[in-house]
Amino acid sequence: MAKKKKIIPKFSRSKSKLGKAPGHISYVGSRDKVPSHLQLITYNENDFQQREVPYIKLPIKNELETSMLNVVGISDEDAINSIGIHYNLNNLLLEDVMDTLQRPKVDEYEEHLFGVFKMLYLDTTKQIKIEHVSLILLDKQVLIFQETDDDVFNGVRERIINKYGRIRSRGADYLFFALLDAIVDNYYVALDDVREELESLEEEVYENPTKDTARKIQTLKKEILRIRKWVFPVKEIVNRLLTTEHQLIQEDTKLFLRDTFDHCTEINEDIVLYREMVTSLMEMYMTNMSNKMNEVMKVLTVIASIFIPLTFIAGIYGMNFTNMPELNSPYGYPLVWASFFIIGLGLLIYFKKKGWL
């Protein structure tokens, strides 16, 4: 059985939000509510610190140059609200932070830059997981809101810890872009998974298509549509960041985003390509199925077409007419056998020539 993937989660925004004012803060998602906890990394060119902080101690003083604050768990309305107050964040913004159905977007506020994205990564069972993540760029700080401890930012953390590359010597805007770049890089992982599934299904369609194959193809198509839904808008967002004149972003930092933009372009092209290939695959499946049917019909036709006439001949000499001279002729029976062979052979040759054998 093909695994079932829901393109749309079971919970629905309409139930959570209907009749509420815009800016109403409440969690929209499929998880149980858990308290949020906060992980802080602060660093400058020479030093860095990493620790858990309770949210009631906010705002954190920036002992070092730049800090990155992971808020893990977005269903805790009190925590989110209190963080919002500490950092002076708009309620509309907080609403999006807690709404796991929110489409990727970037909003520019005077004091901060707010982005909503989806992280895609393979979980331990090699299924693609899609997680809601919000990034907020403040002066010398980046806030990250995420649902669970799993994220795609370990590479960034290691670069900070190990002082690899430019990250320690550059500001919060570079960090913001590095996180975004990490999110986009992980889209390749999901696409590679899709590509592998595509290739294995292609093999299956050509070598051993079954009734279940069609369902698997449709499931993959829905998976691609699901990825497209969350990944497609990111290109436009990165493009907007490339041209923004927000005060928190320095002109020369944008250079590093050009690369991310290239990747988005490529990812979107690949998604379109995979979509086309899945359609081709379904077409191919149907062609193969129809070819198989053809083969079934040919076997039936060949066998029926040969034996039905022969049975008729046998039927003739099974008739009980008193006056059938052939029956008493000594050549009668051998001649009938001869006619069986001649007719049978003739039809076989005919079908052979038709290419049905």
In the window 293-322, what residues touch its own copies (CB under 8 A)? Answer: 293-294, 296-301, 303-305, 307-312, 314-322
Among 232, 222, 220, 219, smallest CA distance to 272 is for 232
Does the footprint of its own copies cover residue 252 (CB under 8 A)?
no
- Applying CB under 8 A, which of residues 92, 130, 161, 242 lies at the interface with its own copies? 92
Query: Does residue 165 belong to the site contacting its own copies (CB under 8 A)?
Result: yes
**Cα→Cα distances 281→24, 126, 206, 218, Å:** 45, 23, 10, 10
By CB under 8 A, the residues from 125 to 154 that bind its own copies are: 154
C-alpha torsion sign, points 277, 278, 280, 285:
positive
Closer residue to its own copies in complex, CB, 17/37: 17
Between β-strands 48-53 and 128-138, what pairing exists: parallel, antiparallel or unpaired? unpaired
Q: What share of the chain is helix, strand, coil (3-state, %, to 5)?
A: 55, 15, 30
One-letter amino acid for residue 37 of the chain:
H
Q: Which stretch binds its own copies (CB under 8 A): 19-27, 37-45, 53-61, 74-82?
A: 19-27
Binding residues among 332-351 for its own copies as defined by CB under 8 A: 332-333, 336, 340
Quick one: 53 or 345, whose CB is closer to its own copies? 345
Helices (H) and strands (E) in the chain, counts: 9, 7
Tokens of 241: 């960041």
Alpha helices in 38-122 (DSSP H): 77-86, 91-98
Please identify, using beta-carbon distances, which residue of 247 and 339 lies nearer to its own copies. Answer: 339
Residue 246 binds its own copies (CB under 8 A):
no
Strand-pair partners of 51: 40
| Span from 55-63, 73-81, 129-137, 325-333 in contact with its own copies (CB under 8 A) | 325-333
CB of 305 to its own copies, least distance (A): 4
> Of the listed pieces 47-55, 73-81, 182-190, 244-252, which binds its own copies according to CB under 8 A?
182-190
22 lies in the site for its own copies, by CB under 8 A = yes
Distance (Å, whole) CA 338 – CA 73:
87
289 is a contact residue toward its own copies (CB under 8 A): yes
Please give the residues from 101 up to 120 whose contact with its own copies meets the rule CB under 8 A. 101-103, 105, 107
Q: How far apart are CA 56 and CA 86, in angstroms?
A: 9
Which of 30, 292, 339, 345 is close enough to bind its own copies by CB under 8 A?
292
